[in-house]
Structure 1
Amino acid sequence: MLTLREFLHRLPKMELHLHLEGAILPATAADLARKNGVTLPPHEQVEDLYHYQDLKEFLDIYTAVSDSVITADDYRRITYEMLESCAANNARYVEFFFSPQVHFKNGVTFDTMIDGIAAGMDDAKADFSIDSRIVPGVNRELGPAAGEELLDMILARKEERLIGIGLDFLEAPFPPEPYANLFERARKAGLNVTAHAGESGPAVHISGSIDALGVNRIDHGYHVVTDPVLMQRCKDLGTLFTVCPSTAAVTSPWHDLTPDHPIKQMADFGLRIMINSDDPPMFGTDLGLEYIKCAELMGFTPADFRRAALDSIDGSWLDDSEKASLSREWAAEIDMLIAELQPA
C-alpha cells in the first residue's frame, strides 16, 4: 500500500509553468556570478538571495540572478539542472519559459541562449529521458515594439522546440491588450500562446488575455474567483490555468494555502487546472513539494490530482496523437496508483 506522499511522488507529471531563470539554484547563481564578474545583491549566505515580500521584489532578484548567465555553457548548465530537478519529481514532459529580453542588455545574443538551452535539453533527455520544449516570455514592461523584435528572433531561429510565447513580468500597470497584434502574428506563424494574468492583476487581465491575445492557457489566474461570470466562461471554454501554490502565497493577495485558497476554489468549480513549481529554488520548493502542499494544506484528493494530470496533457502543446496516447497511459497508471493507496 502507498502512503499519500508516495502516491504523489509516483504520479506522472508535467511542468507547463516553469521559468528557466527562476530555476537557477542559489549556489549556481553565486558560482556563475563569480565566474562572470557579476555583483549580486548583498547577502551573507547564497540562500539569502531568495527573499522577497511581493512580485516586484521578486522580479528585481530574478533580474539580478539572470545577469549572471552569460555564455552558452551557462545556459546549458542551468537548463540541465532545472530538468534534472523536474525528472527527480517524476515530471516527464516540460514546457518552460525563459526571459531573453533580460539578457540582451548584457550583450548575450538570442542564438547563444538557444544554443546553450538546446544543449542542456539534449543532455537531460539523454540522462533522464525527459522531453522538453522552450517558450520565450515577452516582458510586458518593455512594450510591444520590443516584443515584436523578440518574435523576429524566434521565427528566424527555426528551432522546432521553440513552440510558443508567453506574456510575463509585472502585471500592473501593463494590461494584455497592447500585445494583441504581436500575439496574432505569433499565432499566424504557428506558435502557441499563453499569458500570465490574474496573479497580482485583476480578473479583467484574464478576459483581456483570452479576447485580445487569443490564449487558451492562463498562467496563474487566481483573480478569476472574483468574477463568477468569468469563471463560468473559462469553464465553458476549457481554459487551462497553470497554478503555482508557493509563488501564489507571495505574489498574489492570497497568502494562506488553505482549502479556501483560489487554487482549490478553481478546482472545485470545475476549472481546468494543473500544478507547477514556477520558480522553485527562489521560493524554497520543487514540483513534488507543490503537490504535497496541494494535498496537505489545500485538501486536494487523489481524484483531483488525476484530473489535474490529465488536464495538463490536454492543455499542453503536444500534438493530438501524443496527447491521446499519453492520456490513455497516464489514466491507467494513475488508476493503479489510486488502487494502491492506503485508506485515509
Structure 2
Amino acid sequence: MSLYRTELRRLTKRRFTRWAALAGVLVLLAVLVGVFLTNHKIGPAEQARAERQAEQQYQEQVRWAEQERTACVQAQAAGTPNDGRFPPDCQMITPPPRDAFQAQWFLPSTFDFRKGFDEMLVPFTAILALVGFVVGASFVGAEWSTGGMMNLLLWRPKRLTVLLTKLAALLTGLLTLVLTSAVVWTVGFWLVGTFRGTTAKTTSGAWQSFALTGLRGLLLVLTAATIGFALASLGRHTAMALGGAIALVVVGQFGVGILLSMANVKFVEAWLLPTYALAWMQKKVTLENWESCNNVSYSGECKPETLDITWQHSSTLLIGALVVLLGAALWTMRRRDIS
C-alpha cells in the first residue's frame, strides 16, 4: 500500500482533524452571515432618507450658529466677559457650508464587492491558518505521543521519507480544504454584494487582484501548518507546538509590545508578527509614529514619521522560520533515537 495514501487516509479519518476543520468552516460561515445581516442594499428610498438627514443636520448647525451669534451680540452690548467663548467679530460665527454635510454619511452600511472582498480574504486566511497550525501539530504530535511513529518506522524504516510523506499528506488535505472553502467564500460574498450591496465595476483586473491575494493566503495557511508540524515533531508531542504558540503570543507579542511601549521605542508594531502577516496579505502596511512630527508645515499640520512593512519583509521572515524549524525537525528526526 502507498505510504502517501495511507497517511492521507489517516489524516482524514482523525476525529480531531474533522472537528477542527468543521469548527473553522462554522466560524467562516458565521462571519459570512454576520456581514450579510449588517449590510443593506442602497436604493432610492435609502438615498432620499440620507439626504433628509443631511439637510436636518445642516439646519441644526444653522440654528446653532444663529443662536451663538445672537448671544455674542448680546454679550458685547452688555459688556460682559465671554472668557474666549466668542470671537471679536460676531459675524465670524457662521454655519459650515452645505456641502460639508454629505448624504453618504447617513447611508446604511452596504457591501461593495470590488472594494470589500479583498479585505475579507484576511480573516479567511487567519481562521484557516489557525486550523492548519493546530491540525498540523496534532497530526504528527499524536503519532509521537501514542507510539504510532515507532510502529510505522518498523514498517518503513526510512525516517525522513516517513516524516516528509506525512507533511505532504497534511498539505494536500489542507489544500483541498482551503480551495473548497475559498470557492464557497467567494460565492457567498458575491451573493452578499448582489443582495446587500453592489457588484458593479468588478473587472478582470479586480478578479486578478483577488486571485493573487488568495494565493498569498493559501501560502500563509500552508506555512502555518508546516510550522505547527515542525514544532510538534521537534518536541515529539502536540503540546510542544501549542505551548510554543501560546508562549509566542503571550510573551513574544504582548510582553515585548508592552516593554517596547514603556521604552518609547518607535514603531512598536514592527516587532510584532501580526504586522508581517497583514503586510503579506495586503502587500504593504504603513506604520505611523505620531510622537514625532518631522515635517511640520507652516500651518501647523503634523505629518508623522512613517515606516513601510512590505510583503518582501514578510516573505523573508516566513521563509526563515520555515527553513529553520522544518530543517531542525528533519535533522532531529534523522539523528535522534526513536523511543
Instruction: Please say whether Structure 1 and Structure 2 have the same fold, judged by a TM-score greater than 0.5.
Output: no
Structure with the largest fraction of helix? 2
TM-score of the aligned structures, taking structure 2 as reference length: 0.27
